[in-house]
């Protein structure tokens, strides 16, 4: 409120109060003025009059009168700020410090608002100086032609304050976006084979799999830049019937679909998740895959299950169980001297009557099966509790002890007699005669 308006308001109030005072005479009390009557005479709202009544109806200037707006203050330094913004300096704290050096006395918030409102002065981070030529483009593959696979890792915090890492195997169809994930205690080659077999049983076997240069897949490249496959993986490709293509080193967006899947698993499936054991986590992961594959995804513009079943599955048939697959699903293990095999970080007992040094182990849900090395019979089974304690089995140790027998005729002979009769100390007393 400027000085003229304040004086006019004070003049109106004074005139109305004087009229009321003349009418009431000695009964007039400025603290008991009828605000409704005063509102009728002055036209000022009752809320405004209530505030004026606290000051004895004296109109005082506003508390912020005489202060200059921050916008007006910062306009004097707009030249410096515009120069900083045109040079790419968009940090409000830096801009604030620069203009304070030349006398700015305003707030940092005003500088932030100025930078926010003048972002058009900031040069683009990427300026086209000359034509780029042919740019990179996304490639497409036919139905059942290509899958992408990769590992992802996550840290698990336990109730006792310790932590450990688990590996997530991820595979996705590049054509329709159907996905499969499974968790393992580590990313060893045997777990890679198990994850791939389960994925092929779930999605089908493609023409080739696109992956990065894993140690369990490729050893190195020869002079012609051709990959030298790891021998077990090369045999695995021949048994299953697919090929493998490798990405360029340090070029992760070549297989961006599975990279995005791993990130989506961490942000969607694993976000805030609590689990008791790895088996339950894998069951939840399978249910999550089924739900995601049955939902519409904008990236592929389809429902993965519908498109996969109508086109991809015709080219990539589902993998069926066979004796050859059993050797990959049941990795070999050495038997320790005390009759245990180690699998997924825990020890399981093997019966004593199995005399070989190696056997094969397979976990199916909550049950772990131990086979002989040639996969001809089941030696024993264990209930998987994921406890760190050793799991014993029946007949793990021999109950009776072996006995040595003589290897030569026995010629030494000795004689044994009957022991003497036992003579107790009370025999000299005849208690029966005394009783008679």
> How far is Cα 124 from Cα 398, in angstroms, rounded to an integer?
79
Task: Determine the pLDDT at residue 173.
Answer: 93
Whether the CB-CB separation of 312 and 176 falls below 8 Å is answered with yes
pTM of the model: 0.61
Cα 277 from chain centroid (whole Å): 16
Q: What is the mean pLDDT of residues 357-361?
A: 93
Beta bridge pairs of residue 208: 146, 243
Q: Give CA–CA dist 187/153, Å, rounded.
A: 9
H/E stretch holding 359 reads: strand 358-364
Average pLDDT over residues 126-145: 68
Does the pLDDT of residue 294 top 60, yes or no? yes
Residue burial 108-135, b: 16+ Cβ < 10 Å; e: rest: eebbeebbeeeeebeeeeeeeeeeeeee
pLDDT at 63: 61
% of the chain with per-residue pLDDT over 90: 33
Q: Specify the pairing of strand 243-246 against strand 208-211.
A: parallel
Q: What DSSP letter does each residue of 15-75 carry, written as one string? A: HHHHHHHHHHGGG--GGG--HHHHHHHH---HHHHHHHHTTTT-----TTTTPPPHHHHHH
Mean pLDDT of the chain: 84
The pLDDT-based confidence of 188 (bands split at 50, 70, 90) is very high
The Cα 204–Cα 307 span in angstroms is 13
341 closest CA partner among 396, 300, 287, 297: 396
Say yes or no to pLDDT of 315 above 70: yes
- Contact yes or no for 202/180 (Cβ under 8 A): yes
Helix 92-100 / helix 78-86 crossing angle, nearest 10 deg = 140
């Amino acid at each position: 409120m400027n000085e003229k308006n304040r004086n006019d308001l004070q003049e109106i109030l004074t005139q109305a109060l004087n009229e009321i005072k003349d009418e009431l005479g000695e009964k007039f009390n400025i603290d008991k003025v009828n605000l409704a009557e005063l509102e009728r005479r002055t036209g000022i709202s009752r809320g405004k009059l209530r505030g004026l009544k606290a000051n004895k109806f004296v109109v005082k200037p506003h508390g912020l009168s005489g202060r200059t707006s921050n916008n007006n203050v910062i306009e004097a330094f707009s030249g410096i700020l515009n120069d900083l913004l045109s040079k790419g300096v968009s940090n409000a704290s830096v801009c604030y410090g620069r203009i304070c050096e030349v006398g700015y006395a305003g707030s940092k918030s005003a500088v932030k608002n100025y930078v926010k409102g003048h972002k058009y002065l900031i040069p683009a981070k990427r300026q086209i100086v000359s034509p780029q030529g042919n740019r990179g483009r996304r490639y497409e593959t036919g139905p059942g032609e290509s899958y992408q696979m990769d590992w992802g890792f996550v840290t698990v915090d336990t109730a006792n304050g310790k932590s450990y890492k688990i590996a997530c195997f991820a595979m996705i169809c590049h054509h329709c976006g159907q996905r499969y994930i499974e968790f393992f205690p580590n990313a060893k080659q045997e777990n890679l084979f198990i994850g791939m077999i389960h994925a092929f049983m779930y999605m089908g076997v493609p023409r080739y799999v696109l992956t990065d240069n894993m140690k369990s897949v490729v050893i190195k490249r020869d002079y012609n830049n051709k990959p030298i496959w790891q021998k077990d993986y090369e045999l695995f490709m021949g048994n299953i019937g697919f090929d493998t293509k490798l990405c360029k080193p340090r070029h992760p967006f070549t297989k961006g679909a599975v990279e995005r899947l791993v990130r989506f698993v961490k942000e969607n499936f694993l976000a805030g998740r609590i689990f008791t054991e790895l088996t339950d986590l894998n069951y939840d992961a399978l249910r999550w895959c089924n739900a995601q594959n049955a939902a519409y995804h904008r990236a592929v513009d389809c429902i993965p299950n519908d498109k996969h079943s109508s086109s991809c599955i015709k080219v990539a048939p589902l993998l069926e169980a066979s004796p050859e697959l059993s050797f990959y699903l049941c990795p070999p293990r050495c038997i320790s001297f005390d009759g245990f095999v180690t699998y997924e970080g825990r020890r399981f007992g093997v019966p004593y009557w199995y005399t070989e040094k190696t056997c094969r182990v397979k976990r199916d849900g909550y049950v772990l099966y131990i086979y002989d090395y040639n996969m001809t019979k089941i030696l024993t089974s264990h209930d998987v509790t994921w406890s760190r304690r050793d799991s014993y089995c029946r007949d793990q140790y021999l109950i009776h002890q072996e006995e040595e027998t003589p290897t030569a005729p026995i010629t030494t002979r000795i004689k044994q007699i009957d022991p003497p009769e036992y003579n107790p100390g009370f025999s000299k007393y005849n208690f029966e005669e005394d009783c008679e």
